[in-house]
Structure 1
Amino acid sequence: MNFRKITAASAAVLALAVTATACGSDDKDSGSSGGGDKVKVGIKFDQPGLGLKKPDGSYAGFDVDVAKYVAKELGYDEKNIEFKETPSADRENALQRGDVDYIVASYSITDERKAKVDFAGPYLLAHQDLLIRADDNIAKGADLNGKKLCSVTGSTSAQNVKKSIAPKAQLRKYGTYSECLDGLTSGAVDAVTTDDSILAGYASQDQYKGKVKLAGLKLSNENYGIGVKKGDTKMTDKINKALEKMASDGAWEKAVKDNFGPANYKNEPAPKIGNIVK
C-alpha cells in the first residue's frame, strides 16, 4: 500500500515536470522577442540584386543581406532563417496572419501602409529612375516625351511619369521587368522605369552588363523599411538597433557594393532611423 502511494506521488511530480518543460519550450518559438529556434522572413524571390531565389535554392540580394544581418542580431543562426516569398500585394496580410516575423522586400514606407503594419528603418533611400541603353542619353524626365517607356502591369511608376513628368511618353506594359529589359536591349522600348535599386539589380546581371545604364534621375523618393506586425514595438526596436549597427560597422556599404556595384549604382548614404524623405 505504501509502495503504491509513493509511486502515485512520483508520477504526479513527473507529470508536473513534463508540463513545465512543455510550457518552457513554447518560449523558444519564433516571435517578437527573437532568439527562438526559427525566424520567418518575407522577401522577394524574383528581384535580382534585392531578393532572388537562385536555381540551387539559395538566396541572394541586398534585401537578403539585410535580412540575414538583422536575424543574426536578433539571435538567430543563418541556418535557422526560413525565407518566405511575399509578393507586394500580400505583404500586409502575411504580417497580419503571422506567416512571417518581418519583411525585407523593397517595401516603401507610406502612410497608407503604416495604418496596417509597423516599419523599422528606413534602411535604404531609393528613387524612381530610368534604365536606358548604354549608348543613349536621357538627361531629364521630359526627354521621355515621344519615347516608348516600359514598366510592368500594375506599376505606379509609369503612371507617375505619364501624369507628372512626360505626358506624351508612349507607355508599354509588360508582365515582368525581365521582358522590359529584353525590349530595351532589342530596341522595342527606349526606357524602363521603377525604383533605381530594382533597376540596378537587373542591370548587374551578366546578360545586361555594358548594354544598359541608369539615367541617374531622381523622379521620386522611396524609403525602404522592414515591415513588422502592427503593435510589435519590441521587434521594431530590436530591428532598428540592428540596422544602426549594420550602417556603423561597414556591413551596409559592403552589401550595397556586392549587389549593385556592376550597375554603377550611385546610392544614397545609409539613412538615419526614422528619417523619412518626402
Structure 2
Amino acid sequence: MSAVHLKSAKSLLLIPLLGLGLLAGCGNNDAPAKPAATASTAAAPAAGYLAKIKARDKLIVGVFTDKPPFGFVDEKGRYVGFDTDIARQFAKDLLGDENKVEFVAVEPASRIPFLQSDKVDLILANMTVTPERKEAVEFTNPNLKVAVQALVPQGSAVVKLDDLAGKTTIVTTGTTADIWLTKTHPDWKLLKFEKNSESLQALSTGRGDAYAQDNLVLFSWAKQNPGYRVLPEKLGGEAPIAPAVKKGNIELRDWINTELAKLGEDKYLLKLYDQYVRKQLSDDTKPEDVIVEGGKWQG
C-alpha cells in the first residue's frame, strides 16, 4: 500500500491500514505462507498492469541461471533455456520485440518474495504448483509437468526412498523436494543449499548420499555426468509447473493464459522441447510426459 493512498485516509482508518501494511511484509521465503499473511499481502492492481508494462516498455521476468535446460547462462553470458525463451516470446507478443525483457536471477526460495516485493512482473523458474504456493501467488495455466525423485551415485547401496532414512539427503532450499521432505520426513537429515548448482556440487564431492529435486533436472544432469542414477520412486505424485504472477494480478495472469493457449496452437512448447530438452532425456521419453502444450493440464 503506497503512502499516496494513505494521505487521503481518515484518521480512524490508520490503525487497520497499518495492520495490513505489517502483514504485507510477512513471508521472506518460498515456504508455505500463513493464510493471514498471504491473504493480506499487498496485491497487484486488478487492472492496468499491462498498461504499466507497456509504459515501461519492458517485461521483467525472474528466471533461474543454473538449471539447464530450463534457465541458465551460456558461455557468452546470455540468458538461455526453455523458460527464458518463453519469456522472450511473451515480450515479443506484448511489446513487439523479444529483446524488451529484463531477466532477474532468482533462487527457489526468492521466487515468491520477488513477486511480492514487485522486483519482477512474473516468475518463469520451474515453480511447481502447490496448495501452499497458490495462497501466496497467482499461478497461470501450466507449461510443464514434473515429479520429484532422488539422484544417487551409481555404486550407492540406496535402491529405494526409505533407504535414505539415517543418511544425508541434499536439497535446494525452497524447492518442492525441500518442502515435501521437511513435512513428511522431519527426522531425516537434510543438507540444504541456496543454489541448484551448489547442491549438485555437494553430491559430486560426497557431502551427501542423495540429491532430491525435480526429476527433469536429475535426468538431465545424470545424462551429462555418468556415474549417477535416479531412484525410480517418486516423492509425491506428478504435479504441474506454471508461470506465476503477484497475488491479485488477474489481468497479467489471464493474458498469459491466453498467450499460452495461442502458442499451443503452433506447438510452440514442442519446438522448445526439441531445442532444449529432448537431447537431455532418454530417447524413449515422450514430449507429452514433460510439456503441457496450450496450458491444458490433465492431472
Deviation of the 1:124 alpha carbon: 1.0
Q: Which residue of 2 aligns with 1:259?
A: 276
Taking structure 1 as reference, are residues 122 and 145 closer, same or farther at Cα in structure 2, changes over 3 Å only? same
Q: Which residue of 1 aligns with 2:50?
A: 32
Taking structure 1 as reference, are residues 160 and 95 closer, same or farther at Cα in structure 2, changes over 3 Å only? closer
Kindly indicate whether the alpha-carbon contact (under 8 Å) linking 1:180 and 1:192 is maintained by their aligned counterparts in 2: yes
C-alpha distance in 2 between matches for 1:162 and 1:112: 14
Kindly indicate whether the alpha-carbon contact (under 8 Å) linking 1:41 and 1:100 is maintained by their aligned counterparts in 2: yes
Q: Deviations over 1:116-174 (max 9, x none)?
A: 33221111111111123356686542343455432235656256347647x88664445
Taking structure 1 as reference, are residues 96 and 276 closer, same or farther at Cα in structure 2, changes over 3 Å only? farther
Which of 82, 101, 121 lines up with 1:101 in the alignment? Answer: 121
Which of 234, 248, 255 lines up with 1:231 in the alignment? Answer: 248
% of aligned pairs identical?
Answer: 30
1:57 aligns with 2:74: no
Deviation of the 1:243 alpha carbon: 1.6
Q: Which residue of 2 aligns with 1:195?
A: 214
Which of 140, 151, 161 lines up with 2:171 in the alignment? Answer: 151
Kindly indicate whether the alpha-carbon contact (under 8 Å) linking 2:91 and 2:99 is maintained by their aligned counterparts in 1: no
TM-score with structure 2 length normalisation? 0.66
Kindly indicate whether the alpha-carbon contact (under 8 Å) linking 1:53 and 1:60 is maintained by their aligned counterparts in 2: yes
TM-score with structure 1 length normalisation? 0.70
What are the equivalent positions in structure 2 for 1:238-249 lying under 5 Å apart?
238-249=255-266
- Aligned residue-pair number: 244
Q: Which is strand-richer, 1 or 2? A: 1
For 1:273, the aligned partner's letter is G
The CA RMSD measured in Å over matched residues stands at 3.4
C-alpha distance in 1 between matches for 2:260 and 2:157: 36
Taking structure 1 as reference, are residues 138 and 68 closer, same or farther at Cα in structure 2, changes over 3 Å only? farther
Q: Deviations over 1:10-34 (max 9, x none)?
A: xxxxxxxxxxxxxxxxxxxx94256
Q: Which residue of 1 aligns with 2:22?
A: none
Deviation of the 1:239 alpha carbon: 1.0
Q: Which residue of 2 aligns with 1:214?
A: 230
Q: Helix, strand or coil: the match of 2:99? A: helix
Kindly indicate whether the alpha-carbon contact (under 8 Å) linking 1:149 and 1:158 is maintained by their aligned counterparts in 2: no
Q: Deviations over 1:175-230 (max 9, x none)?
A: 544344344445554321111133345446xxx43333433433233422211233
C-alpha distance in 1 between matches for 2:112 and 2:183: 27
Which of 71, 87, 90 lines up with 2:110 in the alignment? Answer: 90
C-alpha distance in 1 between matches for 2:86 and 2:188: 36
